[in-house]
Amino acid sequence: MLRIPRDLHDELVAHAREDAPNECCGMVAVEADRAVQVFRARNLDASPVRYTLDPRDQIRIDRQIEEAGWTLGAIYHSHTRSDPEPSQTDINRAIEPQSRTPWFPGALYIIIGVQHVEPDVRAWAIEGPAEQHQVDLVIE
């Protein structure tokens, strides 16, 4: 389970809508099981069907999370043309190909669906090439 304050949830949705028709991306810091900060990043792909988080942004965000004493809780991105479920591309990018284990162990993947008027935000655990499941996302 991941608990997320309403304002952070709304920030994710706003980022997805602002970057549409391209996918947005970023990272979410947590304390325990509660989101505490959203960090926007640049999608190097600038694409409506895939994302690559800018490595410079990732390093900067990792540093900020560590300095604040938080943990990386989630990587997020949007789906502008499909439901907020991990695509095969999403799964492939979440898993290190040699070890077939997650690049970010313990981190969830939040996908923001903005293809419809009402946004659909879901959290996923991607633990292996054939191991992904939806995780409860509780908006506070």
- pLDDT digit string (tens) for 48-100? 999 999 999 999 999 999 999 999 999 999 999 999 999 999 999 999 999 99
Domains in the chain, CATH or no CATH each: 2-139 (3.40.140.10)
pLDDT above 90 (res 25) = yes
Q: What angle do CA 51, 55, 56 make, to 5 degrees?
A: 130
pTM of the model as a whole:
0.96
pLDDT above 90 (res 129) = no
Instruction: Say what the pLDDT of residue 5 is.
Output: 98
107 pairs with which residues across the strands?
none
- 111 close to 122: Cβ distance less than 8 angstroms: yes
Instruction: Say what the pLDDT of residue 139 is.
Output: 97
Alpha-carbon distance 89 to 34, whole Å?
A: 27
Instruction: Say what the pLDDT of residue 50 is.
Output: 93
pLDDT above 90 (res 128) = no
Alpha-carbon distance 3 to 140, whole Å?
A: 7
